[in-house]
Structure 1
């Protein structure tokens, strides 16, 4: 494989590789930050997504994180800046960027995934979860309503009622809880998640790229529509929530990482 990650850094946070068959792997690997959406991490991720969108031979992409943590979601410092009024309420455009990739994407969510980190994975066309990892939507515990298109995309993945339970209650569920529920493709032991995602990608990669991109556009349309509708409402709710004084205190008190045992 030929790596196209940021060559200026000895330890890139995000790398992109595309092999001779057209199988791409977008690897989120910020160990120090648990793949949380800090400004620097988001910048690298958006650059790699843009590279993938332009890549002429890519036919399918596996999105992966760290073995223990797929993504910790929103970065604490960014959330505090929002609550303190240092930043205007906004959605990181990551979800839209992923939805608009012209080839199918497969999320290999081996490790824990929290909040926007989970939503980012669920924006993929196919999803593989780990039985022993924990997945949750913790926005409300931090004092504000879900963002990044969660209110639309989470329902696609796990169904309307389970999505409501996850968003209102902020409970974390092990991957095994989703077996036989919702639209998740596979729930497997963590050690088998990445291999299954790669096998799914290989089955796609032997098809003509033109046909792949046409089908991707059609199949992704309902989720893209749901995202746009959700994002408009979420932006308005965020303006209200981040203006409330209690939001700042809840972020300070309740922010936890995706690897906490009490999750």
Structure 2
């Protein structure tokens, strides 16, 4: 785990704060970031002291999603989005995970956060499933988790349009998450974590495994369907042009 970009701290007994802080790349899912997150969740899952995880970013960024180089590599047929998979890490974590998305969550970064057991958004931040902005169909489990967590209407709208939404707008649209000012996101997440930290770990693990059963059973098939859709859409010349000229705008 690259300590400089992913930090783990037990902030209270049984509560781990997992913070992504790659300021150079604005928390994009670079190879270093994906490897560091995988290592961190392995450590968390193996330590029986932990009962809850708060997963957050820095300043105004939660996760900026895939890199331009990574998208072009998939376009060229040199990779698929499952090669360095991180979107399912919180789902596979044995104890509950709270995605404290205090900052912008973009593309795969939003999908990654939505797989957490709890989500806290900030009113000021931007949340977008911007895959279709670049002309290719969504991956990272987005076609399942967004309608599942946000409701079919809003989830489908976000996926099909690729538009960006402020947390305050999502709050008005009725998302089933806490939406608070950015400065209050961690405090909101900590209250949830404290509540769970009082419970027996074995009970938390057992109940989480039960509650996530539907997602786990359906996710593998969804990912295969997303890979097929990618094969049909991401190799278009127009997609390369869009990634080259629109990325980061």
Name stretches of at least 5 consecutive residues in structure 1 with no aligned partner: none
Q: Distance in 2 between matches of 1:79 and 1:182?
A: 32
- Is 2:45 aligned against 1:77? no
Q: Distance in 1 between matches of 2:234 and 2:214?
A: 29
Alignment of 1:1-263 (within 5 A): 6=2, 12-19=4-11, 21-85=13-77, 87-91=78-82, 92-179=84-171, 181=173, 184-256=176-248
Q: Distance in 2 between matches of 1:154 and 1:22?
A: 29
Length-normalised TM-score, structure 2: 0.94
Query: Shift of residue 6 of structure 1?
Result: 4.0
Residues 88-132 of structure 1: per-residue CA shift (max 9 Å, x gap):
223242122221100000010011111110011100000000011
| Alpha-carbon spacing, 1:20–1:109, altered in 2? closer, same or farther (3 Å) | closer
Residues 122-180 of structure 1: per-residue CA shift (max 9 Å, x gap):
00000000011111110011121111100000112211011111111111111112226
Length-normalised TM-score, structure 1: 0.89
Alignment length, in residue pairs? 248
Query: Shift of residue 242 of structure 1?
Result: 2.8
| Alpha-carbon spacing, 1:226–1:183, altered in 2? closer, same or farther (3 Å) | farther
Q: Distance in 2 between matches of 1:241 and 1:152?
A: 18
Query: Shift of residue 51 of structure 1?
Result: 1.0
Residue pair 1:112, 1:133 contacting (<8 A) in 2 also:
yes
The range that moved more, 104-113 or 171-180, is: 171-180
| Alpha-carbon spacing, 1:20–1:168, altered in 2? closer, same or farther (3 Å) | closer
Residue pair 2:90, 2:117 contacting (<8 A) in 1 also:
no
Q: Distance in 2 between matches of 1:129 and 1:226?
A: 26
Name stretches of at least 5 consecutive residues in structure 2 with no aligned partner: none
Residues 42-83 of structure 1: per-residue CA shift (max 9 Å, x gap):
111111111111112110100101120111111111111222
Instruction: Report SS of the residue matched to 1:161.
Output: helix
